[in-house]
Amino acid sequence: MDGRLQIFSGSAHPALAAAIAGELEVSPGRAEVGLWKNGETRIKIEDNVRGSDVFIVQPTSHPVDHHVMELLLILDALKRASAARVTAVVPYYGYAKQEKKTSGREPISAKLVADILTTSGANRVLAVDLHAPAIEGFFDIPVDHLRATPLLARAFRRAIQDDVVVVSPDAGGVARAEDFRVRVGGTLAIISKQHPGPDATETLEMVGDVEGKTAVIVDDMISTGGTLIQAAKLLEERGASKVHVAATHGIFAADALDQIHASSIDRLFVTDTIPLPAGRTERIEIVSVASLLAEAIMRTHKGLSVSALFT
């Protein structure tokens, strides 16, 4: 791209957008993002973006619908202002758990969000640890799917030097846990589980030896915390000496933080794809994805390989 690189942000996570802009040594773009008196979202881009290569940083976290709408309106405003290319940087992709129908007469919400992002003017999407990798295929535009595992593994190894067993809390997360294990060493264990209902988890069984070892549960997100708490309890019953958690997206819905602090989990490592909610956070270590996103943005701007970040 020959145009200027510009970074804009919605209201979801301006601190992350500012950190990314700082890494890139550019000034954050000026935009009015707020509400009209009737409750509708108000967007006004205050900088000239004609011919620019623009990146919008907006995780679609709680309140999800509001942040999705902000992102759509910013995309539309930039397209109408003649930006040369607009990339939606979505560190956390909301509705990602609704990537398939689990019963009749349900929407595939993750696909719908992909469609409206494209219709609103996104030329590319940059996301971190999509809950379901198949979501990449929902887009008819390029998607760069970044992984936070290297950052989390590096932060974990700096803080914890014990011999560890890396635990996948379900069969679908084995590849992520194995990648983490390769980076920190140790062995692998897998917990089998089922979901009897929405946001409900029933742990079934575990494969692997954790007796007398430090266990680290590796997952893509912490929502209600139910999966982690049940997994930690099972690991403790099987003889694990300590239980840590490494996860990309710290959603911490409802009273998740209180429940986690009441559990046997010793320490949590989570990234800042989502702003951390106020509350009890003394056990949590935040690992910033600003440098990762900044590097991916610069590579996209210059037409370089983003995949090279993970080789």
Report, as residue numbers or ranges, the catalytic residues.
193
What would the 3-class secondary structure string for 245-263 be? EEEEEECCCCCHHHHHHCC
Residue for token pair 């990234």: 271
CA 6/CA 86 separation, integer angstroms:
10
Distance (Å) of CA 60 to CA 43, 141, 255, 274, 296: 16, 19, 20, 9, 19
Q: Output the CA angle 93-96-101, nearest 5 degrees.
A: 160
Helices 290-302, 14-24: inter-axial angle, 10-degree rounding: 60
Residue 49 CA to residue 66 CA, distance in Å, equals: 24
Give, rounded to a whole angstrom, the gap between the first and last alpha carbons of the chain.
25
The one-letter amino acid at 201? T
Nearest to 11, CA basis, from 63, 77, 86, 78: 63
